[in-house]
Amino acid sequence: MDAPLVIDVSGINKHFGDKHVVKDLALQVREGEIFGFLGPNGSGKTTSIRMLCGLLTPDSGQGTCLGLDVMKESAAIKRQVGYMTQRFSLWEDLTIGENLDFIARMFGMVERRQAVDQALAGLGLEGRREQLAGTLSGGWKQRLALACCLLHEPRLLLLDEPTAGVDPAARRDFWEEIHRLSDAGVTVLVSTHYMDEAERCHRLGYIAYGQLLASGTADEVVASQHLHTWEIGGAGLEGLAEKLRQQPEAELVASFGNTLHVSGRDRAKLQAALENALAGSELEMRPVPPTLEDAFIHLLKGSQDQYGG
């Protein structure tokens, strides 16, 4: 039996002046699911997240978040959601403990001290209670921000590029914590630019120019683009990328270390074009599975074409 829907919205729109930032967003996320939001800067990811957590009211649309109407009950939604912004937004001249206590006061928590102690222990911050937030490294600031999000035990976490600027070890630890929360039934909606993080999500959505262009598991998103990919390597690779970009069959050409990945939707025509381009050279080509990054670049390219980008 499927888990209940925590987010279930359709036709969600938002304008800022004459700019249509989010266009007819339809999204369903189930309890305990980690849903990844991907897309270029300015695509509408942050605005979508803020509408779902009650910080912004949609101009039009319908649906629920945590069983509450996103159009009429934004104040009630805010009280049950943990929202982590792109930038560290806590008070740098307060200690870790003071920041947590302040957040607890904002939520009107009765047993603040106990809640703060549990938050510190849960994320390994007990020994840093008296440390000023402004002196923390990026990874520890991230832990503090997450602790503040979890203080009131929200059923839904909305995380807006939470690992930007954080080192790989801290990112790994952060994602281990996210999966632990998911296993405990917390639903997570997270935006990210990192492909390895996208692959850690249960399902994904790709948004560009305000529209959700694809959604599903990582494998489903890749399959939806119907791409065929070849890897080209060997001596004489210099200048080949630009040459191949002139071929209409080569819809994507990208460097991967000492190789090129070339993708297109017409397998036979792309293979023939590549064989012709490599004739007489020492370069070798072999088919490889298309990656999630290939799929997203193809989606973005298609959306640019659609909107005249």
In a domain, 156, yes or no: yes
Token readout for 95 is: 């200690």
CATH number at residue 42: 3.40.50.300
Residue found under tokens 């249509």: 20
Judge whether 165 lies within some domain.
Answer: yes
Indicate the length of the chain as a whole number.
309
Residue 152 lies in a domain: yes
Tell me, yes or no, whether 253 lies in a domain. Answer: yes
Residue 265's pLDDT is: 95
3-state secondary structure of 143: helix
Q: What whole-number percentage of the chain has pLDDT above 70?
A: 96
| The last residue of a domain, from among 221, 256, 271 | 221
Same domain, 188 and 276: no
Biggest CA-to-CA distance, the chain:
77
Question: What does the block give as tokens for 291?
Answer: 């990656």
DSSP string of 88-112? --S-TTSBHHHHHHHHHHHTT-SSH
Final residue in a domain of this structure, among 162, 188, 221:
221
Cα(130)–Cα(197) distance, integer angstroms: 32
Answer yes or no: is 69 within a domain: no
Residues 270 and 250: their CA atoms lie apart, in Å, by 6
Asked if 135 and 46 sit in the same domain, the reply is yes
- CATH number for the domain harbouring residue 272: 3.30.70.920
| Domain stops at, among 191, 221, 251 | 221
Cβ pair 204, 173 in contact under 8 A? no
Two tokens at 244? Answer: 């191949």
- The answer to whether residues 146 and 174 touch, using CB atoms and an 8 Å cutoff, is yes
> Going by DSSP bridges, is the β-strand pair 228-233/259-264 parallel, antiparallel, or unpaired?
antiparallel
Nearest CA-CA partner of 160 in 38, 5, 77: 38
Residue with tokens 């929360």: 181
pLDDT band at residue 60, thresholds of 50, 70 and 90?
very high
**pLDDT (tens digit per residue) in 197-217:** 899 999 999 998 889 999 999
Residue at 278 is within a domain: yes
Instruction: Report how far residue 164's alpha carbon sits from residue 104's, in angstroms, rounded to the nearest whole number.
Output: 26
70 contacts 52 by C-beta, under 8 angstroms: yes
* pLDDT beyond 50 at 306: no
Of the candidate ranges 97-101, 119-123, 146-150, the one whose mean pLDDT is the lowest: 119-123
In a domain, 62, yes or no: no
135 & 253 share domain: no
| Count of structural domains, the chain | 2
Same domain, 101 and 242: no
> Residue 143 above 60 pLDDT?
yes
Q: Looking at the structure, tell me whether residues 277 and 164 fall in a common domain.
A: no
Shared-domain flag, residues 169 and 279: no
Q: Which domain holds residue 246?
A: 226-289
pLDDT in tens, 26-48: 999 999 999 999 888 888 888 99
pLDDT of amino acid 303: 64
User: Are 281 and 179 contained in the same domain?
Assistant: no
Q: How confident is the model at residue 221 (pLDDT cuts 50, 70, 90)?
A: very high
68 assigned to some structural domain: no
Q: Are both 105 and 158 inside the same structural domain?
A: yes
My answer on whether 283 and 190 are in the same domain is: no
pLDDT of amino acid 87 = 67
Q: Taking a C-beta distance cutoff of 8 angstroms, is the pair 91, 102 a contact?
A: yes
Q: Are 189 and 138 contained in the same domain?
A: yes
Closest CA to 100 of 90, 110, 88: 90
Q: Based on C-alpha coordinates, what's the Rg of the chain?
A: 23
CB within 8 A of 104, min separation 6: which ones? 112, 115, 116, 151, 152
Report the pLDDT value the prediction gives residue 232, as an integer from 0 to 100: 95
37 and 157: one domain?
Answer: yes
Q: Could you tell me if 273 and 156 lie in one domain?
A: no
